[in-house]
Amino acid sequence: MKFFVDTADIADIKEMADTGLLDGVTTNPSLIAKSGRDFMEVTKEICDLVDGPVSAEVVALDHETMMKEAETLRKIADNVCIKVPLTIDGLKTCKKLTGDGTMVNVTLCFSANQALLAAKAGATFVSPFVGRHDDNGFDGMELIADIRRIYDNYDFGTEILVASIRNPVHVLQSARIGADVATMPPAVIKGLFKHVLTDKGIEGFIADWEKTGQTIPAS
C-alpha cells in the first residue's frame, strides 16, 4: 500500500520524505489556508520535495472554470495530480483531464456508487473519507470494502485512496481490505512506528550496552 501524507506543511513533508517511505502528498484548500502561504508557491515546493503525485485541488464548481484552474495547476510540475470534487462537473472535468494524460484525484467520495462513477470517468484516484463517514454513523471501512469489490469485479484501474484517516487502526484495516493508498496526517504516520514493546526493547538494549562500557567508533 502506498503512503501519502495529508498536509501542506513543508517541514512535515520533508521529515516524512526523508524516511524513504513517502509515495505522495495530498493537499486541500483548508490545509493550504492553515499553512498561511501562497497556494501556487507551496504546491511547487511540495512537488520539488517528492517524486510521487501531489494532489492540488481546484476551487471552482463549474466544469469550464475547473478546466481553466486545472490548466494553471498542471503547469506547476509534472507530478501534480488535479483534485476535483465528486460532482457532475467534477467528473466531466476528470474525464477530460485523464483523457489528456493528466492525473486526477476525485475527492469527497462517500458512497460506493460515487466511486463507481469516478472509475467510469477515468479517475486516477478516488478518495473515500472514512473518518467523516464514521462521524456520521456509517462504517467507513465497509465503504472501502464495497469499493474494492466493485473495482475488482470490473478490473477498474482507479486506485482507492483512503482519506480522512484518524488513527493507525484505519491504516491497518485499509491494508487488510486491499486499498491502494492511505493518505494520513503526519501524526498518524508517526504513530505507525510506535509500539510499547519496541520502546521497552530499546531501553533494555541500551541499558545492557552501557554496562559494557564500550563504544562503536565513528568511521
- Among 34, 83, 96, 211, the one annotated catalytic: 83
Residue 92 annotated in active site: no
**Residue with cell string 483523457:** 99
Give the H/E segment covering residue 98. Answer: helix 88-99
Instruction: Write the DSSP symbol of residue 179.
Output: -
Q: How many CA atoms lie within 13 A of 117 on its CB side?
A: 20
Q: How many CA atoms lie within 13 A of 186 on its CB side?
A: 15
Cα 96-127-11 angle, rounded to 5 deg:
105
Which among 160, 159, 183 is positioned nearest to 170, based on CA atoms?
183
Q: Known catalytic residues?
A: 83
